[in-house]
């Protein structure tokens, strides 16, 4: 069997600063058409879903966090401690214990309680955008349950209700009583919203949200080789500052617990596979889990929300459909996660020689697994359709049902097995395999459920309030290493 370095492979330079936006999409389509494996500057890129899942799940490959520390000579100090204690870098029994303690506080059921506050935060930010008013959320079923972005409505009087309008008709109708608003969406909403949400979840003053965003933005850069080369002192400073802040929070919650996530983590209990109680979190473990949730839940959500709104602005018929059917927000979120993942590449390092598809990967091989192309290989059944037991989403099931309900409005959307997988479409019924944007296996993103709820509430809130949404200029894309977001997203829309 050949060793991977003996293969003649196409090349992918994922460090190329021009590889973003449409050019990134085009290059990845070319590589995926050529095969499942490509050679990169530091190792190899795995491009298909089965390969991505294999390397994310195998116990013979780990996240190369400590290898990164060695490469960039991080051997002591706060950044080294953060890398050493990051849950991404912890494996085996220690990782299992931490997940058993943290998962209940971030389960699909547990994060539902944050929806009302997220709506309040969105309303507050919305009022600060120059030129906007407010309009009642649309799309709640008369007398039905609350939908993302709106409370339950009173039963409607059919005699006073206008006939239902199609999305196409709404797109063409004049926005009576509405004025045109132009804003830069990233700075106006995508940036402040996740940091305010995480501030509430952590139980800290809302005025600290800007500091949380600053720390998250810098600490997240430890995963970007270019930033570690050029900005390591600033990253180290951000870690040190956040540690000091988080230690004070943990001490305060030890003395006076509340109903915030930090208090829940301090009080968390769990049992191992034999039913024996596991050791509770130490203060050091609690502080580092808080840091993990911060850096994994601010820049990431900001970037995914910006991409979701950009994609919907580029597909105005889908935005209008969402405005009329806010219950489609969970499905719209899943499609944005699938189509434009903000973590297009995740690194793994092979710890012992392994073989996959008759190709030998020696120990020490670095593999970049590609969620971008893997998300375009949704299987109908079999390999890749499995789930991670602690991360299921009832909203996803409801969204799938909603997709079936509107299939008659868009008969072309369900052609084939999940439709055209290289097309963005919130109405299509995709196969039920989970997107790879949050990873897979034991290191599946611990905050995935919280991120989904934040994104769902944002889209459901915004769609009825930003009518006729369109781009007001060219989006400014960040690079694909690290978090793949947008620096700027100029938008134009009609608001009351």
Mean pLDDT of 298-310: 96
Measure the CA–CA gap between 240 and 228, rounded to whole angstroms: 16
The pLDDT confidence band at residue 249, using thresholds 50, 70 and 90, is: very high
Tell me which residue of 463, 118, 458 sits closest to 325, measured CA to CA: 463
Domain spans of the chain, in order of start: 72-121+184-343+376-434+437-495
Q: What is the pTM of this model?
A: 0.83
Mean pLDDT of 14-24: 93
* Residue in the structure block whose two tokens are 């409505």: 153
Dihedral through CA 243, CA 245, CA 249, CA 255, nearest 10? 90
Distance of CA 264 to the CA centre of its chain: 23
Judge contact between 261 and 249, C-beta under 8 A. no
Lowest-pLDDT range of 100-109, 269-278, 323-332, 403-412 = 403-412
**CA-derived radius of gyration, the chain:** 23
Distance of CA 29 to the CA centre of its chain: 22
Tell me which residue of 315, 276, 329 sits closest to 138, measured CA to CA: 329
- Give the DSSP H or E segment for 459: helix 448-462
Burial of 162 (0-12, 13-18, 19+ CB in 10 A): exposed
CATH 1.10.630.10 is right for the domain spanning 72-121+184-343+376-434+437-495: yes
Higher pLDDT, 35 or 224: 35
**Residue 196 in this model has a pLDDT that exceeds 80:** yes
Lowest-pLDDT range of 131-145, 312-326, 432-446 = 131-145
- Residue 47: per-residue pLDDT: 97
Mean pLDDT of 453-460: 98
Dihedral through CA 362, CA 363, CA 366, CA 369, nearest 10? 80
Mean pLDDT across the chain, nearest whole number?
83
**Residue 49 in this model has a pLDDT that exceeds 50:** yes
- Residue 418: per-residue pLDDT: 52
The encoded tokens of residue 130 equal: 């120059």
- Residue 419: per-residue pLDDT: 61
Measure the CA–CA gap between 427 and 399, rounded to whole angstroms: 10
Count of CB atoms situated within 10 Å of the CB of 251: 12
Mean pLDDT of 118-122: 97
- Residue 414: per-residue pLDDT: 31
Strand ranges in 159-268 using DSSP code E only, listed in sequence order: 179-184
The full length of the chain comes to 496
Lowest-pLDDT range of 174-188, 297-311, 317-331, 452-466 = 174-188
Measure the CA–CA gap between 469 and 340, rounded to whole angstroms: 19
**Residue 111 in this model has a pLDDT that exceeds 50:** yes
Lowest-pLDDT range of 25-39, 141-155, 347-361, 417-431 = 141-155
Per DSSP, the three-state class of 263 is helix
**Residue 416 in this model has a pLDDT that exceeds 80:** no
Mean pLDDT of 265-274: 79
**What separation in angstroms does the CA of 358 have from each of 3, 4, 47, 443?**
9, 10, 16, 26
Mean pLDDT of 461-482: 95
Measure the CA–CA gap between 7 and 45, rounded to whole angstroms: 13
Beta-bridge partners for 277: 271
**Residue 371 in this model has a pLDDT that exceeds 90:** yes
The pLDDT confidence band at residue 158, using thresholds 50, 70 and 90, is: very low
Higher pLDDT, 225 or 108: 108
Measure the CA–CA gap between 482 and 346, rounded to whole angstroms: 9
**Residue 388 in this model has a pLDDT that exceeds 70:** no
Percent of the chain with pLDDT over 90: 62
**Residue 170 in this model has a pLDDT that exceeds 90:** no
**Residue 404 in this model has a pLDDT that exceeds 70:** no
Maximum distance among all alpha carbons in the chain? Answer: 74
- Residue 430: per-residue pLDDT: 79
Per DSSP, the three-state class of 221 is helix
The pLDDT confidence band at residue 269, using thresholds 50, 70 and 90, is: confident
Beta-bridge partners for 436: none
- Residue 136: per-residue pLDDT: 52
Strand ranges in 340-475 using DSSP code E only, listed in sequence order: 345-350, 354-356, 359-361, 366-370, 467-471
**Residue 73 in this model has a pLDDT that exceeds 80:** yes
**Residue 171 in this model has a pLDDT that exceeds 70:** no
Distance of CA 89 to the CA centre of its chain: 20
* Residue in the structure block whose two tokens are 């021009």: 18
CA atoms within a 13 Å half-sphere pointing along the CA-CB vector of 398: 15
- Residue 71: per-residue pLDDT: 83
**Residue 143 in this model has a pLDDT that exceeds 60:** no
Higher pLDDT, 163 or 232: 232
Count of CB atoms situated within 10 Å of the CB of 83: 18
Mean pLDDT of 191-209: 94
Q: Alpha helix (H) ranges present in 11-86?
A: 21-34, 49-57, 65-71, 78-85
- Residue 134: per-residue pLDDT: 55
Mean pLDDT of 56-69: 89
């Amino acid at each position: 069997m050949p060793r991977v370095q003996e293969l003649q492979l196409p090349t992918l330079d994922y460090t190329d600063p021009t590889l973003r936006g449409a050019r990134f999409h085009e290059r990845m389509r070319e590589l995926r058409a050529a095969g499942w494996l490509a050679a990169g500057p530091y190792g190899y890129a795995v491009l298909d879903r089965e390969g991505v899942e294999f390397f994310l799940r195998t116990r013979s490959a780990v996240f190369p966090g400590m290898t990164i520390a060695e490469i960039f000579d991080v051997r002591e100090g706060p950044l080294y401690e953060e890398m050493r204690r990051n849950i991404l870098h912890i494996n085996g029994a220690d990782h299992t214990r931490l997940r058993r303690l943290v998962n209940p506080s971030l389960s699909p059921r547990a994060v539902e309680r944050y929806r009302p506050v997220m709506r309040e935060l969105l309303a507050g930010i919305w009022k600060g955008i120059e030129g906007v008013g407010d309009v009642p959320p649309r799309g709640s079923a008369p007398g039905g349950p609350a939908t993302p972005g709106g409370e339950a409505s009173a039963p409607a009087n059919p005699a006073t209700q206008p006939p239902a309008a199609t999305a196409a008709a709404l797109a063409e109708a004049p926005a009576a009583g509405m004025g045109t608003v132009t804003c830069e969406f990233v700075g106006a909403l995508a940036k402040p919203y996740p940091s305010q949400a995480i501030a509430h979840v952590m139980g800290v003053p809302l005025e600290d949200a800007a500091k949380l965003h600053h720390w998250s933005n810098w600490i997240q850069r430890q995963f970007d080789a270019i930033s570690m080369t050029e900005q390591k002192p600033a990253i180290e400073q951000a870690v040190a500052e956040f540690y000091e802040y988080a230690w004070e929070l943990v001490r305060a919650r030890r003395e006076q617990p509340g109903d915030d996530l930090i208090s829940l983590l301090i009080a968390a209990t769990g049992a191992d596979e034999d039913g024996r109680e596991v050791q509770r979190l130490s203060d050091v473990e609690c502080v580092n889990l808080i840091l993990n949730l911060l850096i994994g839940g601010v820049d990431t959500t900001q970037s995914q929300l910006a991409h979701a709104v950009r994609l919907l602005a580029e597909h105005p018929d889908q935005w209008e459909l969402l405005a009329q059917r806010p219950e489609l927000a969970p499905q719209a979120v899943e499609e944005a996660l699938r189509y434009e993942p903000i973590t297009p590449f995740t690194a793994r390092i092979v710890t012992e020689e392994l073989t996959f598809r008759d190709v030998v990967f020696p120990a020490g091989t670095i593999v970049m697994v590609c969620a971008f192309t893997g998300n375009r290989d949704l299987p109908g059944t079999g390999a890749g359709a499995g789930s991670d037991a602690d991360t299921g989403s009832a909203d996803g099931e409801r969204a799938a049902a909603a997709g079936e309900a509107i299939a008659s409005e868009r008969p072309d959307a369900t052609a084939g097995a999940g439709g055209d997988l290289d097309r963005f479409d919130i109405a299509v019924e995709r196969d039920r395999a989970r997107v790879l944007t949050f990873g897979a296996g034991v290191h599946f993103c611990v905050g995935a459920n919280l991120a989904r709820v934040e994104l769902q509430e944002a889209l459901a809130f915004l769609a009825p309030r930003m009518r006729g949404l369109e781009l007001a200029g060219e989006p400014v894309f960040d690079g694909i290493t690290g978090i793949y977001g947008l620096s700027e997203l100029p938008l134009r829309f009609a608001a009351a």
